[in-house]
Structure 1
Amino acid sequence: MGDMAESSQASGRPYLLDGRRVRIADLLAAGLLTDQQPLSFPRKRKGERHHAEVTREHGGAIRLLPSGQTYRSPSAAAHAAVGYGSFDGWTAWFLDDGRDLDGVRQQFLDQAVEEGAENASADDGSGDGLTAASLSEKQRHQRLRDARQAAADGRPQTLPVRELLEWWGESGRGVVTERIEAALANHSLVTVPPFTQVGLDATVQLLRAPAEEAPCRDASAQEGVEGEEESPVREPGPTVGTIASAMGEVVTISPHATLEHAVTLLLLNDFSQLPVVAGRQLKGAVTWKSIAQARHRNADCTLTDAVIDAREVHFDHDLVDVLPVLADTDFLIVRGPHGEIGMLTVADIALAYGSQAAPFLLVGELDRRLRAVIIDRFDLSTITAVCDRDGSRSLSSFDQLTFGDYVSVLGNRDRWEELGWPLDRAAFAKRLDEIRKIRNDLMHFNPDPLPLNAETKVRGVISILRQYADY
């Protein structure tokens, strides 16, 4: 977007490699590995040692010896060498000097982040005195290194999901999730429970990824397909645990309590149901409806007479799969990562997603108004010069423009002057870019709540467009 876009490109993200995992090809290109360099995978407990070598085939891969099969993924190569199981190939394969591939990867990351810090310093003079909400690449790299060491020392770091997101300067998951997962994987770290499967205020531990897991796949599984990339195992959508109320503390009642006690707890807390729990064992639930039915059958009924079966789901269950069940039962008992009990109700779903309806509609209106202004004021050739300088996108219609293109056009100094609005270009473009992130969260159905001022920001820009569209 003119000078704004040029600044963004100059700062870059060499350490994050555009949010992807480090590959064998990267280590070859950096000169940290060489073609035909020997590798070995020792399994001392089994008395086995598997052999391979680095190869430039497929852009950078591991060739098993003596079979000659090649795999871009170290983990896929380790699995194929053994014939079963699931392995972290980066810690499984060793060089002749005693380093594992993970050690080489860490050297690559250290070099990349130092180069990135030098470039950033040369560009804008920024140092390391930043807050946690705006960490530099170097600071974030150091935090991940520290977390990795702490996990190796048996004292894993524990932090809320919200704080982990702040390392990347974000308040919600959305499109940043893949960048975080890539950075964690590059440091052989995982979060337990997975940060994508619990609410923002839930705490997670940063642990080292296991070097070898229990056998879980048949030897014929298609994990070692030639040329296959290292890829994360991810849930396709939000899980039950991403709804904050499902992971919160829930009031329960003992099966030995009185019915009067249950009624009192329901009234005091304005609840519609209570889980009936003995220790950590779920015995069922009591609801206003079950109490009414029990008393209709027997005016002198006890709590036991009012207890009904309760459906239980695990926190990492796909949310979309439980919605039909929730519609029938009105509530579900949620079992957390440590066996704790939570609850999910129809009201919780309505509250979590109903608040996104207004911003969703407003962003749609904003999109249409921005497009109308650009179509009315600029020729397509002028827009193409800003959004498709090298012609790689082959823009041939205004309908092909994205919201990011709107930000680029209106943030461009020349286009802004041509627009003639008596407003500050930088402030307007900054606000549009903030809304772009809000729009991305909405379009990707991010389960995390939008910032409290999201709707106000969108309404503010719509108001300006209404006032200045014909200026």
Structure 2
Amino acid sequence: MIAGWEETTGDISSYQSVDELRDALSGFYPAEGFNTVNNWTHQLWRFCKIMNPGDLVVMPRKYQSVIAIGRILGDYEYRKDAPPGYRHVRSVKWLNVDVARAAVAGDLRDSMGSLLTISELTRRNAVERVEKLAQTGSDPGYAGYITPPADASVLKEEVDEAGTRQLTARDLIGLWGWSRRTADAIEDVDHALRASGLVVEPHFTAGHLDSLVTVSPLNTAEPAHGGAGPVANEEISTSAVSVEDDSPTKDFTWRIGNLPIATDVVSCTLDETLGRAVMHMVENDFSQLPIVDEHRRLVGVVTWESIARAKLGRRQDTITDARALQYPPSAREEEELFARIRDIQRHGFLIVVDAENVVTGILTAVDLAGELQARIQPFTVLEEVERRLRRAVSSLSVEELRACFKDKYKAQKIHSAKDLTLGNYRYLINDEHRWTKLAWPYDRADIVERLEAVAKYRNQLAHWDVDAPEQDSKQLEQAKQLLKLLKIVDRDPTE
């Protein structure tokens, strides 16, 4: 196993601390900035000092869809007579050199796909899972919760120490006090990550709030001419995005992963009987069933229509005979949703896959309709609240409407209730004279409180947000309750 960094001459095990090694690397690479040198320092320190004989090592193999897994046999060696780039080595016994990358669960594969040449896999039972992959070629996976760092500074420390840190998008933005991915939140977190010399992939806006993201240092690649280290990491990783450009990090597009897609996908294989597929579809009220291989890579889909065609054609009673599409519509979570709407309209579904074409979810037309309702309903409810309020205060004169403004310039712009914003009504109602004239059969303080809460909700919705407001959210329910009260004092002639 070879680390590279050909300009780094001499036995690096002679350095007694990270600081000493960093100072030495600064001399070997005088043109590089502090963050780059610091990242390289931690990588070489892991290679020389942290790795121990007996540890497992994972190497994504370049230009192949497999990884190699080995066990370290000896200590770090410096081979001064070897060609440049081949001098920093560790001896390894390779246990399995062709483990399919698709066999590795997405969370572990993302950790392996770090931008770093040398990083450490520690969380989510990584050691036990890699051991199992070496033995059987399959990953038992891990479904537990990942405890996030205590704060942003701890995140930086952990990335420096291990090379990567995984956490959910929710926990990531929570380190900076955000709970939803608004435009302000995205800008704030992007700026903070960049200032800390960190990059996150996939970007924390690409999936849903509970999707895993992997944080790595920026500027982590070896020098361009730097030897033959395990640069195959480049192939397994998803594309890194700089927050300096006009890339998807600043693109507020609605993405497939932003939707609450079904992730516990029932599937079938080509060698199964058609009867088993029919049973799954009837039991779960499915219109389609993905067909996958041994590693859950997508190889087709079966639908009720394709089953009917197979039966009418008197073909064999197998999934292969009833396969509707060998290349069904599929997409990655980070793809733009509206660019794939036609596929959903045409087929009624879109199968979500990862970088290895492994099925991770499915989005149906029914799911999309439900999500659009969740997005649109708050606006329709709030629009009706405002419409009802305008009619309900129509008994008040223009002077009484203007009286709720302390600013005389703003007051002069009011000519009817149509000129009021939702935020103005709490001030209009919170007056004994005007309240008496309206003669609403409610408690005035309670109505003022409800109007304030709903106006705040309206202001939140006025700003772009990756995350759809939940249909059963407390704020939406408050708006619905206010609307119900307003329907009593405003009788719509059309109802």
Q: TM-score range by the shorter chain?
A: 0.5 to 0.7
Distance 2:312 2:429 in 1: 77
| Cα RMSD after superposing both structures | 4.6
Deviates more, 1:301-310 or 1:454-463: 454-463
Q: Aligned to 1:235, which of 225, 228, 251? A: 251
SS across alignment from 2:206: coil
Alpha-carbon spacing, 1:430–1:182, altered in 2? closer, same or farther (3 Å):
farther
Q: Aligned to 1:204, which of 200, 213, 225? A: 213
Contact map agreement 2:152 2:175 (CA 8 A) in 1: no
Distance 1:334 1:265 in 2: 19
Q: Aligned to 1:271, which of 275, 286, 307? A: 286
Shift of residue 322, structure 1, vs aligned partner: 0.2
Establish whether residue 154 from structure 1 lines up as the match of residue 170 from structure 2: no
* 2:81 corresponds to: none
SS across alignment from 1:344: strand
* 2:462 corresponds to: 440
SS across alignment from 2:479: helix
Structure 1: state its 5+ residue gaps.
Answer: 1-42, 51-88, 95-139, 216-228, 390-394
Establish whether residue 320 from structure 1 lines up as the match of residue 338 from structure 2: yes
Aligned residue type for 2:384: E
Contact map agreement 2:288 2:303 (CA 8 A) in 1: yes
Shift of residue 388, structure 1, vs aligned partner: 6.5
Contact map agreement 2:181 2:466 (CA 8 A) in 1: no
Shift of residue 272, structure 1, vs aligned partner: 1.5
Aligned residue type for 2:161: D
Establish whether residue 258 from structure 1 lines up as the match of residue 273 from structure 2: yes
Matches within 5 A, 1:353-392: 353-370=372-389, 373=393, 378-380=400-402, 383=405, 385=407
Alpha-carbon spacing, 1:467–1:354, altered in 2? closer, same or farther (3 Å):
closer
Distance 1:386 1:161 in 2: 46
Shift of residue 276, structure 1, vs aligned partner: 1.2
Aligned residue type for 1:147: L
Number of matched pairs: 326
Distance 1:368 1:466 in 2: 11
Shift of residue 464, structure 1, vs aligned partner: 4.3
Establish whether residue 187 from structure 1 lines up as the match of residue 196 from structure 2: yes
Contact map agreement 2:257 2:333 (CA 8 A) in 1: yes
Structure 2: state its 5+ residue gaps.
Answer: 1-24, 39-147, 225-243, 437-442
Alpha-carbon spacing, 1:417–1:347, altered in 2? closer, same or farther (3 Å):
same
Distance 2:305 2:408 in 1: 63
Q: Aligned to 2:260, which of 244, 252, 261? A: 244
* 2:479 corresponds to: 458
Distance 1:211 1:370 in 2: 58
Alpha-carbon spacing, 1:466–1:282, altered in 2? closer, same or farther (3 Å):
closer
Contact map agreement 2:152 2:176 (CA 8 A) in 1: no
* 1:15 corresponds to: none
Larger Rg: 2
Shift of residue 172, structure 1, vs aligned partner: 4.0
Shift of residue 198, structure 1, vs aligned partner: 0.8
Shift of residue 362, structure 1, vs aligned partner: 1.2
Q: Aligned to 2:314, which of 284, 287, 298? A: 298
* 2:370 corresponds to: 351
Identity across aligned pairs (percent)? 22
Distance 2:388 2:223 in 1: 56
> Which deviations, in whole Å up to 9, do the C-alpha atoms of 1:408-439 show, x marking residues without a partner?
x4555996566447522773354134422553
Shift of residue 377, structure 1, vs aligned partner: 6.5
Shift of residue 240, structure 1, vs aligned partner: 1.0
* 1:424 corresponds to: 445
Aligned residue type for 2:479: V
Higher relative contact order (CA 8 A, sep 6+): 1
> Which deviations, in whole Å up to 9, do the C-alpha atoms of 1:139-168 show, x marking residues without a partner?
x99711111211121165433334445556
Aligned residue type for 1:271: F
Distance 1:376 1:90 in 2: 65
Distance 2:385 2:155 in 1: 42
Distance 1:45 1:298 in 2: 75
**TM-score of the pair, normalised by structure 1:** 0.56
Establish whether residue 334 from structure 1 lines up as the match of residue 352 from structure 2: yes
Alpha-carbon spacing, 1:435–1:260, altered in 2? closer, same or farther (3 Å):
same
Alpha-carbon spacing, 1:468–1:302, altered in 2? closer, same or farther (3 Å):
closer
> Which deviations, in whole Å up to 9, do the C-alpha atoms of 1:351-394 show, x marking residues without a partner?
211234433211111233445649856455863719969xxxxx
Aligned residue type for 1:275: P
Distance 1:306 1:469 in 2: 58
SS across alignment from 2:31: strand
Alpha-carbon spacing, 1:154–1:262, altered in 2? closer, same or farther (3 Å):
same
Aligned residue type for 1:456: E
> Which deviations, in whole Å up to 9, do the C-alpha atoms of 1:301-333 show, x marking residues without a partner?
422111122122111110000001211122222
Alpha-carbon spacing, 1:188–1:266, altered in 2? closer, same or farther (3 Å):
same
> Which deviations, in whole Å up to 9, do the C-alpha atoms of 1:173-211 show, x marking residues without a partner?
344444443444443444332221112332233433445
> Which deviations, in whole Å up to 9, do the C-alpha atoms of 1:10-47 show, x marking residues without a partner?
xxxxxxxxxxxxxxxxxxxxxxxxxxxxxxxxx97996
Distance 2:432 2:192 in 1: 41
Matches within 5 A, 1:79-94: 91=35
Distance 2:417 2:200 in 1: 39
Distance 2:223 2:311 in 1: 52
Distance 2:454 2:346 in 1: 42
* 2:111 corresponds to: none
Distance 1:349 1:399 in 2: 40
Alpha-carbon spacing, 1:169–1:366, altered in 2? closer, same or farther (3 Å):
farther
**TM-score of the pair, normalised by structure 2:** 0.54
Shift of residue 299, structure 1, vs aligned partner: 4.5
